[in-house]
Amino acid sequence: MTAFTLMGVVNVTPDSFSDGGRFLDHDRAIAHGRALAAEGAAILDVGGESTRPGAAPVGAEEEERRVIPVIEALAADRGAAVSVDTMKLGVARRALESGATYVNDVTAFRHEPGIAALVAEHGARCCLMHMLGEPRTMQDDPRYDDVVADVKAFLEERLAFAVAQGVPEDRIDLDPGIGFGKTLAHNLELLRRLPELAAIGRPLVIGVSRKSFLGRITGREAPAEREVATAAANVLAFERGATIFRVHDVAASRDALAVAAATLAADGP
Ligand code: HH2
């Protein structure tokens, strides 16, 4: 059976688009991470800065204050791998020293290129994500020649950069960055043509969870009501080559993906 991996989102922020403020308290964030691991998350992605469109940047000190105690506690559980969702070198360093083994950088090492060497030095894994522009302005009229070809070329270039900095290729995952400088049509085209990105040969991470394009399609205003839509998009992405799914609700996508995986396996040789 083709395996899939669930990456549970632990947002230690006041302003994340779907769960901002719910887990700003360290104890609540840690309990939430443990609950996601119990539901089947193999990776817990801990973030202290929202990247939603228009989000205000957070200083490194404040970001560390938010995430480091949570990373320390979840890593000490020795269950799920702990990822830090950051674009800052200092935060990534403290996180890796505190037990994280995965760096999820939505700028793909463009904001602070030194994170690549840091990941290499620690023998960590990483996710390199495509984003057009920066969070503050990324949704202001994004344009591409061919969104899939442009994202593919970007991911290949960032993969080559990370490898040149010493990160072994087999420790690098790639992500088309659904919703990061993309219209509804761009997101759908990326999902539809995912096999072209899977052809790069690295595992694909998909982060559709509760995003606004799902609200546009379903008419669901509240992000937490977009779980069925999230699971549907994840199943389609899995069938087209993605294997790592970044989600807020682990149980819902786990069930949907388990059915997809069993069905596709039954189809095989
Ligand atoms: N999406 C978000 C944040 N980090 N990382 C990867 N690799 N892929 C994604 O699609 C992705 C990501 C946005 O979701 P969330 O963390 O819930 O919201 P916010 O950025 O507002 O905290």
Could you list the pLDDT tens digit for every one of the 269 residues in the chain? 459 999 999 999 998 888 888 887 999 999 999 999 999 999 999 999 999 887 888 999 999 999 999 999 999 999 999 999 999 999 999 999 999 999 999 999 999 999 999 999 999 999 999 999 887 788 888 899 999 999 999 999 999 999 999 999 999 999 999 999 999 999 999 999 999 999 999 999 999 999 999 999 999 999 999 999 999 999 999 999 999 999 999 999 999 999 999 999 975 54
Q: Please name the residue whose Cα sits nearest to atom 3 of ligand 1.
A: 51
Which of 70, 245, 246, when mutated, tests ligand 1's pocket best, judged by the most ligand atoms within 8 Å of its CB? 246
Enter the tokens of residue 46.
Answer: 């801990």
CATH for 5-264 (3.40.50.300, 3.30.420.40, 3.20.20.20, 3.20.20.140): 3.20.20.20
Tell me the CA–centroid distance for residue 209 and ligand 1, in Å. Answer: 8
All structural domains of the chain with their residue ranges: 5-264
Tell me the CA–centroid distance for residue 207 and ligand 1, in Å. Answer: 7
Write out the catalytic residue numbers. Answer: 211, 246
pLDDT at 1: 47
In whole angstroms, give the CA distance from residue 180 to residue 155.
14
Enter the DSSP assignment of 199: T
In whole angstroms, give the CA distance from residue 58 to residue 75.
24
90-142 confidence digits (pLDDT tens): 999 999 999 999 999 999 999 999 999 999 999 999 999 999 988 778 888 88
- Say which residues have a Cβ less than 8 Å from residue 83's Cβ, sequence separation at least 6: 7, 43, 44, 45, 46, 100, 101, 102, 103, 104, 127
Ligand 1 pocket at CB < 6 A: 9, 11, 13, 16-18, 47, 50-52, 85, 104, 106, 127, 129, 175, 177-178, 205, 207, 246
**Closest by CA position to 165, among listed 219, 89, 91:** 89
Which of 7, 9, 115, when mutated, tests ligand 1's pocket best, judged by the most ligand atoms within 8 Å of its CB? 9
Which of 11, 49, 50, 51, when mutated, tests ligand 1's pocket best, judged by the most ligand atoms within 8 Å of its CB? 51
70 contacts 32 by C-beta, under 8 angstroms: no
pLDDT at 17: 87
Enter the tokens of residue 79.
Answer: 């269950």
**How many Å is the maximal CA-CA distance in the chain?**
53
pLDDT at 138: 80
Tell me the CA–centroid distance for residue 260 and ligand 1, in Å. Answer: 24
pLDDT at 100: 98
55-78 confidence digits (pLDDT tens): 888 999 999 999 999 999 999 999
